[in-house]
Amino acid sequence: MRVLTELRGTLEAGAQKALAPLTALEQRGRTLGTQLQQLGARLGSESTALSRRATSRQGQLETELTQTRASAARTPSATSRSGLAALEAEASTLARSSAEASDALRVLTASLSTQVGSASAALSTALSALATSRQAIERLAASGISLIKDAESKLETLRKATLAQIASLEATFDAAIETIQSAANTFIDGLRAIIRQFRALVDAATGPVMAGADALQDLVTDLVTTANTLIEQVENVVGLAVGAIDLIPVDALPMPLAGPTIDTLTQLATQFATQLENGAKAASGQLTTLAGTVSSAIDSGRTTLSEQLDAALAPLLAQADQLTQQIDQKREEIETQVSAQIAAVGTQVDQAIDAARAQIDALTQPVLTQVATYTQQVESAASAAVQSATTALDGASQQASTLGEAWGKGLDQSRAAFAALEARQTELSSKLRALRA
C-alpha cells in the first residue's frame, strides 16, 4: 500500500511539474492576446480620429470657398475672378491631397488590421493547442491515478481476506488450546484429590507419634504447601499457553510484522516448555526431599517406632514417586500438544502471508509498469507542447512588436501629411478671407 501511495504522489507531482510551464505559456499567450487587441483598437481609434479631423478641415475649407464665390458674384471684377480661379485650383489640389492621405491611412490601417487579425488567429491556435495538450496530460495523469486507486481497492480486499484467514487460524488455535486446557484442568483436579488423600494418610500414619512432635508437624505442613505450589505452577504455565493466542499481532498482518508474529509464537512455546519443566521438576524434587526429611526425622526421633512408621509411610512415599512421574508425563504431553499447535499455526500463517505477497506482487507490478508509461507520456506530451507553444508565442510576440512599430511609423507619417495639409488649408483660408474683403 505504501508503494502505491508513493507512486500516486510521484505521478501527481510529475503531472503538476509538467503542467507548470504550460500554465506560464498560457499566461504569456493571454498577455499577447491583450496586446494585439489593444493594437487593433488603436488602429481603429487613431485612424478614425485622423480621418475625421481631415474631413472636418476640408469641409471648413469648402464652406469658405463657397462664401468667397458668393462674395465675388456680388462684386464681379477681373481681379476677383482671376484670384478666385487661382484659389479654386489650389483648393482642388488640397482636396485631392487630403483624399490621397486619407486613402493611404485607410490602406495602412486595413493592412495592419489584417495582420493583427492573422496574429490573433495564430495565437488562438497556439493557445488552443496548449489547452488540448493540458487536457491530454490531465487525462494521462487521471488514468494513472485510476489504476492506482483500483489497485489500492484490490489490495484492501486482499488485506481483509488475509486477516479473515488469520482470524480463522486464531479460532482454530484457540479451540485446540481450550482442549489442552480442559485436559490440564482434569489432571490438576486429580492432583488435588491425590494431595487430599496423601494428607489424610500422613495424618493417619503419624497420628500416634504426633503428640509433642511440632517439628514433624511443620514438615508435614511444608509437604502439603509444596504440593499446592506444584499445582499452582502447573496452572500458571497452562494459563500461559492459553494466553498465547492473545499475543498474535494479527492487525499488522500480512505485511512486515508477519515475521515477528511467528517469532512471538516460537518464544511462547519455548517459554511455556521451560517454565513447565522447571516448575514441575522443582516441585517434585521438593516433594521427594520433604518426604525423605519426614522419614529421616521420624527415624531419628522415634527409634522405638521406626519399623512401624516405615511400614506406614512406605505407601505414601511410593505415591509421592508416582505423583512425580505423573507430573513429568503430563508436562511432556502438554508441551508436545502446545508445540504442535503453535507449529501448525505458524506454518499456516506463513502460507497465508506468502500467498498474499504473491497476489500483491501480481497486482502492483503491472500498475508500476503502466504508471511509468503514463509518466513518460506526460513528460513527452508536455515537452512537445512547450516547444510548439514557445515557437508560436515567440512568433506572435515578434509579429505584435513589428506591427506596433509599423503602426507607429505609419501613424507618424500620416500625422505629418495631414499636418502639412492643414497648414496649406490654413494658408488658403487666409487668402479666401482676404479676397472676400
Q: What is the DSSP string of 215-276?
A: HHHHHHHHHHHHHHHHHHHHHHHHHHHHGGGGG--GGGTTTTTHHHHHHHHHHHHHHHHHHH
In a domain, 9, yes or no: no
Residue 278 shares a structural domain with residue 228 = yes
pLDDT mean over 18-41: 91
The whole model's pTM is what? 0.54
Q: If we measure between CA atoms, which residue out of 217, 384, 411 comes closest to residue 298? A: 217
Q: Is the pLDDT of residue 391 over 80?
A: yes
Residue 188 shares a structural domain with residue 285 = yes
Residue 137 shares a structural domain with residue 168 = no
Contact 366, 129 (CB under 8 A): no
Residue 404 shares a structural domain with residue 261 = no
In a domain, 306, yes or no: yes
Q: Is the pLDDT of residue 241 over 60?
A: no
CA atoms within 13 A on the CB side of 344: 15
Contact 173, 245 (CB under 8 A): yes
In a domain, 11, yes or no: no
In a domain, 14, yes or no: no
Q: What percent of the chain has pLDDT over 90?
A: 17
Q: What is the pLDDT of residues 412-435, one digit of tens each?
A: 999 999 999 999 989 999 988 888
Which position has the grid cell 510576440? 397
Residue 181 shares a structural domain with residue 150 = no
- Please give the Cα distance from 77 to 75 (Å, whole number): 6
Residue 316 shares a structural domain with residue 171 = yes
Contact 255, 268 (CB under 8 A): no
Which position has the grid cell 496586446? 35
Contact 54, 417 (CB under 8 A): no
- Domain final position from 351, 375, 399: 375
Q: What's the confidence (pLDDT) of residue 31?
A: 93
Q: Is the pLDDT of residue 237 over 60?
A: no
- Domain final position from 334, 352, 375: 375
Q: What is the pLDDT of residues 282-299, one digit of tens each?
A: 555 555 565 566 556 655
Domain containing residue 104: CATH number: 1.20.1260
In a domain, 12, yes or no: no
In a domain, 318, yes or no: yes
In a domain, 59, yes or no: yes
Residue 177 shares a structural domain with residue 207 = yes
Q: Is the pLDDT of residue 146 over 80?
A: yes
Distance of CA 134 to the CA centre of its chain: 22
Number of independent structural domains in the chain: 2
Q: What's the confidence (pLDDT) of residue 29?
A: 92
- If one compares 344 and 91, the residue with the highest pLDDT of the two is 91
- DSSP 3-state of 212: coil
Residue 217 shares a structural domain with residue 354 = yes
Q: Is the pLDDT of residue 281 over 80?
A: no
- Domain final position from 324, 354, 375: 375
Domain residue limits at 121: 19-156+377-436
The sign of the dihedral angle between the CA atoms of 334, 340, 344, 345 is: positive
pLDDT mean over 169-188: 77
Residue 232 shares a structural domain with residue 318 = yes
Q: pLDDT category, 301, cuts 50, 70, 90?
A: low
Residue 98 shares a structural domain with residue 199 = no
Distance of CA 89 to the CA centre of its chain: 87
- Please give the Cα distance from 372 to 375 (Å, whole number): 5
Q: Which amino acid is at 36?
A: L
- Please give the Cα distance from 51 to 432 (Å, whole number): 24
Residue 245 shares a structural domain with residue 286 = yes
Q: What is the pLDDT of residues 399-409, one digit of tens each?
A: 889 999 999 99
Q: What's the confidence (pLDDT) of residue 84?
A: 84
Residue 349 shares a structural domain with residue 382 = no
In a domain, 13, yes or no: no
